[in-house]
Amino acid sequence: MRIKSLGYNIRECFKNLWRNRMMSVASISSVAATLLILGIIFVLIVNISAMTQVAKDQFDTIQVYLEDDLAISDIEDIGTEIFKLQGVKDVIFETKEEALEKMKLDWDQNGYLLDGLESNPLPNSYIVILDDINYSDYIVMSIQDTEGIEEVKYYKEVIENIITMTEAIRKVGLFIMVVLIAISTFIISNTIKIAVHARRKEINIMKYVGATNWFIRGPFLLEGIVLGLIGAGIATTLIYIGYKYSYNAIMDQFYMFISAYLIRTQVIIKDVGFLFGIIGSGIGALGSIASLRKHLRV
């Protein structure tokens, strides 16, 4: 398609969109409907991912309890050893006194019960903060048998559950998205096929007058893309309104801590708009090329 014919294509595109406005409306609604469902799934996946990320961050520490009768130099040695390991972000030393204080705070009103203890039964410990939760197994393995360490504790099961759950949600979501895109491409190509069929005479004449295939495709391609983009625009608007409403509703009615993990409307709508634009125009272009194939063989 040369620049010279661009004006022709744009003119033809909008003329035809208007002339076949019933078809145009049908195509746009079908793209919008598909993208809407896609968008809802996308929004859910993104939010669940964000929430599990937050949950993972809360469990990404390993507690290393030390034996009671260690010399200060030994304690320091163990600390530096742990810090050298791959995946360790930070190592914090917690004395047995601090641990007891923490416990008192946790027990809150019943904390006074701990005052009656003759000696502090809690050990000194290191709190190991990880770069990534996936390092936890490796780190635990590496330090478990070190001399002077009594016990290593971490939230293995919780962590593993979170990881498998996130993966499962992602996979199912992706699968549904792929299926939906395939279905909507099919719907669009059928819709455009009707538009192409309505104009098969025109295409036939174009072929006889010596138009190149790309020249004939041009307006249809543009038409498909325009339809896809309008559909994407509508879907984005609907998602924006729906998300904003849900977001505010959750903010108002639920605990702050849930809504704090939700992704803000402005952030998500940028991604949704971008994604919809690409998928919408892609579906439109693919659909129009597919539906023209038969008619270009004259």
Partner 1 sequence: MIKMLNVSKRYDNGVVAVSNMNLHIKKGDFIFLVGPSGAGKSTFIKMLLKEESATTGRVIVDDLDITKLHRRRVPELRRKIGVVFQDFRLLPNKTVYENIAFAMEITEAKPRDIRKHVPMVLSIVGLADKQKMYPDQLSGGEQQRVSIARAIINNPPILIADEPTGNLDPETSKEIMKLLLQINKRGTTVLMATHDKEIVDLMKQRVIAVEKGRVVRDEVGGRYGYAD
Binding footprint of partner 1 on the chain (CB under 8 A): 2, 4-5, 7-8, 19, 201-202, 204-212, 215, 298
The distance in angstroms from the start CA to the end CA of the chain is 20
| Burial class (CB within 10 angstroms; exposed 0-12, middle 13-18, buried 19+) of 46 | middle
CB of 6 to partner 1, least distance (A): 10
User: Closer to partner 1 at the Cβ: 8 or 274?
Assistant: 8
User: Closer to partner 1 at the Cβ: 6 or 267?
Assistant: 6
Q: Distances in Å between the alpha carbon of 188 and those of 10, 121, 288?
A: 20, 71, 8
User: Closer to partner 1 at the Cβ: 213 or 246?
Assistant: 213
The continuous run of DSSP H or E covering 91 comes out as strand 88-94
Q: Are 291 and 189 in contact (CB under 8 A)?
A: yes
CB of 9 to partner 1, least distance (A): 10
CB of 197 to partner 1, least distance (A): 15
CB of 171 to partner 1, least distance (A): 43
CB of 137 to partner 1, least distance (A): 60
User: Closer to partner 1 at the Cβ: 215 or 261?
Assistant: 215
| Burial class (CB within 10 angstroms; exposed 0-12, middle 13-18, buried 19+) of 167 | exposed
Task: Tell me if residue 162 falls in helix, strand or coil.
Answer: helix
User: Closer to partner 1 at the Cβ: 116 or 210?
Assistant: 210
Measured in residues, the chain has a length of: 298
